[in-house]
Amino acid sequence: MSDEASQPPSGPLPRLSPTAAPLSPTAAPLSPTAAPLSPTAAPLSPMALRPLRLLLSLGAGIIALTLIFATIGYFFRDPLLRFASLFVDKLGGVGVAIGFYIPDAFTIPLPNDAFSVLGLAGGLGFVEVAIWSTVGSLLGGSTGFAIGRRLSKTAWYQRVMQSRGAEVRS
């Protein structure tokens, strides 16, 4: 076998048309109902990203969410402000800390930033909200770590890791 035959072809590979013969005797022929391949179309792969399309989708999603929340804020302004005042009157800064503690400690999908907004709209100062948020988040993260540390020593956790640990590690 010559060196030329063992080298991969250089340059762009030729594109096949739907009427082209199969590449090997075991390859299935293309379906007559398949869409024709464009000579300029790039092959699609699961790993191929389209940055412009991704950017446009992201921008449209952000705009849509902003409009939804702006509409909710516009039509429900008074009830939201009353709720924020009630929240601060009943719980104060501790309520903001609890709002940060719960999602951080127990991995509950709760937006803790909403509690910052409630505190600010209810009359707490920015620095006070920032301090209570920090305290709640630090305590919540420490609690979550301690829970995970203790659970990792249980027989149940050891059993799960022995049976499914390879999936987690890979």
Q: Where residue 4 falls among pLDDT bands split at 50, 70, 90?
A: low
- Quick one: average pLDDT of 85-107? 94
Give mean pLDDT, residues 38-51.
Answer: 63
| pLDDT at residue 98 tops 60 | yes
- Taken in order 140, 142, 144, 147, the sign of the CA dihedral is negative
Please name the residues in contact with 18: beta carbons below 8 A apart, sequence gap of 6 or more: 30, 32, 34, 36, 37
Residue with tokens 């709760």: 110
Taking the C-alpha atoms of residue 158 and residue 93, their distance in angstroms, rounded to an integer, is: 40
Task: Give the whole-angstrom CA distance, residue 144 versus residue 105.
Answer: 4
C-alpha radius of gyration, the chain, whole number: 29
Split at pLDDT 50, 70, 90, the class of 110 is confident
Domains in the chain: boundaries? 71-163
**pLDDT at residue 162, as a whole number:** 83
| 0.85 surpassed by pTM | no
Chain-wide mean pLDDT for the chain? 80
Q: Tell me which amino acid residue 94 is.
A: V
